[in-house]
Amino acid sequence: MQIKTIMVIGAGQMGSGIAQVCAANGYDVYMHDLKEEFTQRGMNGIDKNLSRQVKKERMTEDEKQETLNRLRPTTDLDDAVHADIIIEAAVENMEVKCNLFSRLDGIAQEHAILATNTSSLPITEIAASTKRPKQVIGMHFMNPVPVMKLVEIIRGLATTDEVYEAVETLAKNLQKTPVEVNDFPGFVSNRILMPMINEAIFTVYEGVSSPEDIDTVMKLGMNHPMGPLTLADFIGLDTCLYIMETLHEGFGDDKYRPCPLLRKYVKAGWLGKKTGKGFFEYESN
């Protein structure tokens, strides 16, 4: 199965990162979002990232231009007809993803693979919203995509070996390290990471310590490169809440209960770095 053209759905922090890495490695990429201002924001972010690469002499100005030329921002989902694989990176919400997959199934070519970058939602359930569950798979990149090496590849119940191998090859061509994971809530990465982040939020909620000090404990005491609350802000607190809800519902165990303070921040629109405020404050992007 030859992959030449890729469509990425969602031009947010993950989608734009995935589109950038695909284009930088020679693929033609359609980057889709709901509105032109969103695709434009994604393109601006990519431009800024690539300029930084040029400055650090990791890429020439010509290579940057070639990468940008391979990217096509679009608000038309029908462009999915051009793609050999569609990688969905819209919001972490089952209804949104199932709706998208069902529409994409009707548009995409027969051979096309439908992949999702979901952080925690069951691949098998997303696949069931299509007539091609054999060609549906999880391709879970880490944030920030251009920097992080790992891709978790998650097979749905029906995913074929051929589709798995095509996605594994694609991940390697993107200079990533793929790891095979079974379809359980949160996969491996977020099943381990999110309860730690949620516990750090409970520690703030119960007044045990300040966000700064909690992050310092984990950085200096456990040698984590980034504290859990800063990491939560980078991931997006809405995404963290969706993942905790998926773990809570999927395993039915109260140890996964989202912290009320996390819910409160999300309701306030304090979503972390992307909105300028979460547990810490950030310059607006």
12 binds ligand NAI (CB under 6 A): yes
- Of the pair 91, 217, the CB lying nearest ligand NAI is at 91
- Of the pair 84, 92, the CB lying nearest ligand NAI is at 92
Pick from 25, 102, 143, 169 the residue near ligand NAI by CB under 6 A: 143
Q: Which residues are annotated as part of the binding site?
A: 10-15, 33, 92, 97, 119, 143, 274
Instruction: Kindly indicate which of the ranges 27-35, 44-52, 58-66, 246-254 contains the residues binding ligand NAI, using the contact rule CB under 6 A.
Output: 27-35
Tell me which of 117, 140, 168, 245 is the catalytic residue: 140
Nearest to 218 by CA among 206, 232, 207: 232
Instruction: Kindly indicate which of the ranges 116-124, 179-187, 199-207, 216-224 contains the residues binding ligand NAI, using the contact rule CB under 6 A.
Output: 116-124
- What is the b/e burial string over 214-224, where b = at least 16 CB atoms within 10 angstroms of the residue's CB? bbebbeeeeee
Reply yes or no on whether 198 is catalytic.
no
Q: Which residues are annotated as part of the binding site for NAD(+)?
A: 10-15, 33, 92, 97, 119, 143, 274
**Cβ 205 to ligand NAI, closest distance in Å?**
22
201 binds ligand NAI (CB under 6 A): no
Tell me which of 16, 117, 119, 198 is the catalytic residue: 119
Give the footprint of ligand NAI on residues 232-261 (CB under 6 A): 235-236, 239
How many other C-beta atoms are found inside a 10 Å radius of the C-beta of residue 128? 17
Please say whether the beta carbons of 137 and 167 come within 8 A. Answer: yes
Residue with the CB atom nearest ligand NAI in the bound state? 12
Q: How far apart are the first and last CA of the chain?
A: 39
20 binds ligand NAI (CB under 6 A): no
Contacts of 181 (CB under 8 A, 6+ apart): 138, 140, 152, 153, 154, 187, 188
Nearest to 179 by CA among 198, 156, 155, 197: 155
Token pair belonging to 229:
């609350």
Contacts of 189 (CB under 8 A, 6+ apart): 119, 140, 142, 150, 152
| HSE value, Cβ hemisphere, 13 Å, CA-based, for 141 | 30
Reply yes or no on whether 182 is catalytic.
no
Please say whether the beta carbons of 60 and 24 come within 8 A. Answer: no
Tell me which of 16, 49, 117, 152 is the catalytic residue: 152
Residues at the contact surface with ligand NAI, assessed by CB under 6 A: 9-15, 32-34, 38, 89-92, 96, 100, 117-119, 140-141, 143, 235-236, 239, 274
